[in-house]
């Protein structure tokens, strides 16, 4: 029976731990120059409804380095753009490929494709979350700081964004403290798994990890001026970061707008783990592809 990865909770905490162990093995194997061919002869479809740099590069590199191949299909080049249903696309594509990564807007579209596909479907980003990015983020925290247990992670910025929602899901699974600092009107719906701290200076105090994302995501360009005004004071700059632990690291899923949600001095500074975080997308996705395609 096929298995999808549409949100973090599709895997248990133990299964995530196994993914991270395998990701470490695969990262070390690449460092040593070893060839790993566990997915030789396998094909991954990358279906894009939104623009992408890291998602496309990291998935294409991941399947390729494991001996497989990727077919990258922007939505505008597919028959979906001319009215073909997602259900038909998913059913037909399943006859050609071994897994599908879908980067889309609404989660209803993601789940429609997943229901029709008979091969694993991976959420490459949707309005409701960005679970593959969170895999990389959590792996990077473990790599830099050790166990996630007992750590304090502070999210600064849009608390209703897909990244913030995935951090909330992660906090429930991995049992770390998550603080969300966002202006009114951009806060998550009340729920479990996080603490809401309106003042970013208090939210960052004593944090082990400080993370943020752009204030204006794809599809929100018309709201740019209003968003910049709302998020004034929520920039992760040197003054804000000084309130975190001296050992704290900074994460950002990229692309970044230096001088808006994060300062150049922070994202390019010694406490930034952003480049490791970006690289780790590839390693954790290798482990994820193995788990889904080989049913490990």
pLDDT tens profile 108-117: 999 999 999 9
Q: Which of 130, 227, 252, 283 is labelled catalytic? A: 130
Structural domain of residue 68, as residue ranges? 8-130+281-293
- 206, 247: one domain: yes
Nearest to 162 by CA among 219, 227, 100, 81: 219
Which residue among the candidates 98, 208, 213, 235 is catalytic per the annotation?
A: 213
Task: Say whether both 156 and 193 belong to one domain.
Answer: yes
Round to whole Å and give the CA distance between 283 and 247.
Answer: 24
Is 113 in the same domain as 153? no
CATH number at 66 reads 3.40.50.1370
235 catalytic? Reply is no
Asked whether residue 43 falls in the same domain as residue 171, the answer is no
Active-site entry in 54, 133, 179, 283 = 133
Verify that 139 and 84 share a domain, yes or no.
Answer: no
pLDDT tens digits, residue range 220-278?
A: 778 888 899 999 999 999 999 999 999 999 999 999 999 999 999 999 999 999 999 99
* pLDDT, position 216: 84
- The answer on 139 and 94 residing in a single domain is no
Q: Tell whether the torsion through CA atoms of 88, 89, 93 and 99 is positive or negative.
A: negative
Domain count, the chain: 2
Q: 209 and 94 in one domain?
A: no
pTM of the model: 0.96
Residue 172: active-site member: no
Task: Verify that 272 and 137 share a domain, yes or no.
Answer: yes
The verdict on 140 and 31 lying in the same domain is no
The answer to whether residues 78 and 174 belong to one domain is no
Q: Are 124 and 155 within one domain?
A: no
Exactly one of 179, 227, 252, 281 is catalytic; name it: 281
Query: Out of 208, 235, 253, 285, which one is annotated catalytic?
Result: 253
pLDDT category of residue 13 using cuts at 50, 70 and 90:
very high
User: Is 295 noted as a catalytic residue in this protein?
Assistant: no
| pLDDT exceeds cutoff 80 at 137 | yes
What is the per-residue pLDDT across 22-46, written as a single tens digit (0 to 9) for each? 999 999 999 999 999 999 999 999 9
């Amino acid at each position: 029976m096929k298995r999808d990865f549409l949100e973090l909770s599709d895997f248990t905490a133990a299964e995530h731990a196994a993914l991270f162990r395998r990701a470490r093995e695969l990262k070390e194997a690449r460092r040593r120059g070893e060839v790993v061919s566990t997915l030789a002869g396998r094909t991954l479809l990358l279906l894009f409804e939104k623009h992408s740099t890291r998602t496309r590069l990291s998935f294409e590199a991941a399947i390729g380095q494991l001996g497989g191949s990727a077919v990258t299909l922007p939505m505008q080049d597919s028959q979906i753009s001319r009215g073909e249903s997602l259900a038909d696309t998913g059913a037909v594509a399943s006859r050609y490929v071994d897994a599908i990564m879908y980067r889309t807007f609404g989660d209803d579209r993601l789940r429609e494709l997943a229901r029709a596909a008979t091969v694993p479907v991976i959420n490459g980003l949707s309005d409701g979350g960005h679970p593959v990015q969170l895999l990389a983020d959590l792996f990077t925290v473990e790599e830099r700081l050790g166990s996630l247990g007992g750590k304090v992670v502070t999210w600064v910025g849009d608390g209703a964004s897909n990244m913030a929602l995935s951090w909330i899901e992660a906090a429930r699974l991995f049992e770390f403290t998550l603080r969300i600092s966002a202006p009114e009107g951009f806060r998550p719906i009340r729920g479990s798994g996080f603490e809401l701290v309106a003042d970013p200076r208090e939210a960052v105090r004593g944090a082990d990890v400080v993370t943020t994302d752009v204030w204006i995501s794809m599809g929100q360009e018309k709201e740019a001026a209003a968003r910049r005004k709302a998020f004034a004071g929520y920039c992760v700059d040197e003054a804000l970061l000084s309130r975190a632990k001296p050992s704290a690291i900074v994460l950002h899923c990229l692309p970044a707008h230096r001088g808006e949600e994060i300062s150049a001095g922070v994202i390019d500074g010694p406490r930034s783990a952003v480049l490791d975080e970006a690289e780790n997308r590839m390693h954790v996705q290798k482990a994820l592809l193995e788990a889904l395609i080989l049913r490990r």
